Amino acid sequence: MSTRLVPAAARAFALFEIFAREKRELSNAELAKNLDLPESSCSNLVNTLIDIGYLGRSHQTRRLYPTGRLIAIAREIDKNDIAAASLNDACERVRNRTGESALCGSLHGQVVTVVAFSPGHQPLRYTSARGDRLSLHVSALGKAILTRMPPEDVPREIGSGPYEKVASATITDPGELVRQVGRLRKLGYVHLENEGADGLATIAIAGRVNGQLLGFSIAGAQPTLRQRRDEFLAVLHEVCDPLFDTAAA
């Protein structure tokens, strides 16, 4: 057995497994017997779980049963797992349709975090991984997300800068970034070239998925994305629009 085992935590989960097996209200004495604990120790565990809302006690019988809190938390965890799987599936479908790298990301404080990624099939391809962090000022994902925010919120999200110039077309001035987002908002999608790296192009759209603003993008060689922009944009909408709470413009 691992030396890192926390007995109290193990007993708490064992207690819920007992309820799942018995499928009925139980007394403290019955729980103590099943857990192989003194009744006083079991009572301490039970009272703690009552205090934090995971167990309830009948006023008439004094018997115990789990509240709905545990299943509510489990449902939220399961919902997030399903959402993550759908984001990964969307990126894979976009990659399979285009052959190029596909990403999904969220924006927090001038930083875009990659939450799903499928690498392209091309020999020269954009590389990333889930959890990678991209600077907002060179990210099509981030700028697509900004176009779905109220215009008055954009300057605050961009911040005061200045940003680092990392490629020939990198925009470093915060005011120009705000103006760029305004132009992209009217366009309805994001197409960047030579902003994050010379020779790299990205196409992106964004929308809310279960209330959270997320961007989806295709990244690859500039000549290919320029030539096939309309085709790739159509693929993004076809695959990603069904995930959005409201379809992207």
pLDDT at 1: 43
CA distance 249 to 246: 9
The end-to-end CA distance of the chain, in Å, is 56
CA distance 90 to 236: 9
Q: Looking at the whole model, is its pTM more than 0.85?
A: no
Structure-block tokens of residue 223: 């000549």
CB–CB of 155/174 below 8 Å?
Answer: yes
3-state secondary structure string, 141-190? HHHHHHHCCCHHHHHHHHCCCCCCCCCCCCCCCHHHHHHHHHHHHHHCCE
In tens digits, what is the pLDDT along the chain, a chain of 249 residues?
Answer: 445 778 889 999 999 999 999 999 999 999 999 999 999 999 999 999 999 999 999 888 889 999 888 888 877 666 666 577 889 999 999 999 999 999 999 998 788 989 899 999 875 555 555 557 888 999 999 999 999 999 999 999 999 877 889 899 999 999 999 999 999 999 999 999 999 999 999 999 999 998 889 999 999 999 999 999 999 999 999 999 999 997 555
In sequence order, what are the residues at sequence separation of 6 or more whose Cβ sits closer than 8 angstroms to the Cβ of residue 184? 143, 144, 147, 190
Distances 170 to 74, 139, 165, 173, 194 between C-alpha atoms, Å: 44, 10, 5, 9, 7
CA distance 28 to 200: 65
Torsion sign over Cα 181, 183, 187, 191 = negative
Render 48-79 in DSSP notation, one character per residue: HHHHTTSEEE-TTT--EEE-THHHHHHHHHHH
Query: Quick one: CA torsion of 17, 20, 24, 29, rounded to 10 degrees?
Result: -10
In sequence order, what are the residues at sequence separation of 6 or more whose Cβ sits closer than 8 angstroms to the Cβ of residue 52? none
Structural domains of the chain in order of their starting residue, each with its CATH number: 7-67 (1.10.10.10), 80-243 (3.30.450.40)
Distances 158 to 149, 154, 185 between C-alpha atoms, Å: 12, 6, 15
pLDDT at 100: 95
CA distance 107 to 147: 12
Residue whose structure tokens are 């604990």: 37
